[in-house]
């Protein structure tokens, strides 16, 4: 079942309009998370909204928004006043222009969403907008209001739907000069560049996110398993960084290392052995995690990462 829509409204290209819904394209819910506890009692820590001066807890109905003019001096802004300045993009994504994907600086990208028709009507109009974007090989730029703020959104065709990526405004992006000005101007010799290019060619591949492993998440699972089993946790020896004395020598050694690594990757993959219980897996289900599907319930717990209670 798809998650709840973050936004519902209309997608409009000139006079072509259709109802749409916006859904988050990413999720952090599968990552292990921790609660803060009182070391003395083992109870969870609870946060309260309190008056900064009196220390008294303030109920939600008495909390208003305020903009600080001077130290301790605020202008209160009510919900009704904020509703009065609501923009058209609160309910409609108006496509303003079409640009090339390469024109969008990666620094402006925030997060992706899935866009699909909302309900049983408007699929024809949605398909027209989607296929126009696809056939023109362009990115549609529009505006949408999420969490009471207007965002720029870039729309691209993906399968039967659209992917909308929120973009930052120019004032939110820092200039690189602030960080790059002090980098020394170094002359890279042709020999060094040739060796570096050789390493790149040996490591060339195709982007496949399935190959990536979250090593920190795996280490968290292992740590929790060890603590559940009552094992003593001993700190591991951390690798020490080495200073590069001869850059050419380091490049030559890297070429040899890359060749060995490439050869190992090209060997036929052996049939993986069945993972032992507790090897980068939880020893038992963690409270609060949804039960596995019935189809997999008969198998031993394997591979699934769980949230901590």
Q: What is the pLDDT of residue 265?
A: 62
235 three-state secondary structure: coil
CA distance linking residue 199 with residue 261, whole number of Å:
11
Q: What is the pLDDT of residue 245?
A: 62
Question: Can you give the pTM of this predicted structure?
Answer: 0.71
Scanning the chain, the segments in alpha helix (DSSP H) are 79-84, 123-136, 177-180, 190-202, 215-228, 247-266, 294-297
| Tens of pLDDT, residues 48-99 | 999 999 999 999 999 999 999 888 899 999 888 887 777 766 889 999 999 9
The segments of the chain whose pLDDT lies below 70 read: 1-2, 88-89, 239-245, 258-309
Contact 162, 130 (CB under 8 A): yes
| Tens of pLDDT, residues 182-209 | 999 989 899 989 998 998 888 888 989 8
- In this structure, what DSSP letter does residue 44 have? B
Q: What is the pLDDT of residue 6?
A: 92
Q: What is the pLDDT of residue 21?
A: 95
Q: What is the pLDDT of residue 281?
A: 57
């Amino acid at each position: 079942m798809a998650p709840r829509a973050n936004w519902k409204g209309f997608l409009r290209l000139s006079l072509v309009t259709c109802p749409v819904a916006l859904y988050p394209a990413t999720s952090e819910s599968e990552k292990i998370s921790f609660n803060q506890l009182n070391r003395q009692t083992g109870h969870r820590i609870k946060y309260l909204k309190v008056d900064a001066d009196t220390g008294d807890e303030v109920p939600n109905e008495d909390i208003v928004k305020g903009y600080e003019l001077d130290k301790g001096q605020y202008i209160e802004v009510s919900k009704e006043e904020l509703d009065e300045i609501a923009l058209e993009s609160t309910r409609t994504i108006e496509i303003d222009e079409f640009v090339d994907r390469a024109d969008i600086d990666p620094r402006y990208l925030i997060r992706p969403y899935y866009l699909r028709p909302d309900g049983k009507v408007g699929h024809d109009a949605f398909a027209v907008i989607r296929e126009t974007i696809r056939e023109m090989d362009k990115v549609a730029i529009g505006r949408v209001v999420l969490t009471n703020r207007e965002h720029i959104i870039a729309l691209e065709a993906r399968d039967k739907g659209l992917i909308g990526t929120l973009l930052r405004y120019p004032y939110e992006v820092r200039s690189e000069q602030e960080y790059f000005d002090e980098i020394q101007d170094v002359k890279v010799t042709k020999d060094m560049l040739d060796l570096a290019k050789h390493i790149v060619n040996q490591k060339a591949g195709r982007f496949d996110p399935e190959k990536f492993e979250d090593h920190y998440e795996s280490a968290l699972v292992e740590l929790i398993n060890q603590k559940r089993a009552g094992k003593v946790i001993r700190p591991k020896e951390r690798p020490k960084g080495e200073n590069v004395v001869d850059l050419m020598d380091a490049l030559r050694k890297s070429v040899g290392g890359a060749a060995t690594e490439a050869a190992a990757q090209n060997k036929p993959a052996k049939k993986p052995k069945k993972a032992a219980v507790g090897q980068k897996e939880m020893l038992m289900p963690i409270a609060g995690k949804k039960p596995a599907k019935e189809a997999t319930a008969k198998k031993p717990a394997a591979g699934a990462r769980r949230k901590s209670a």
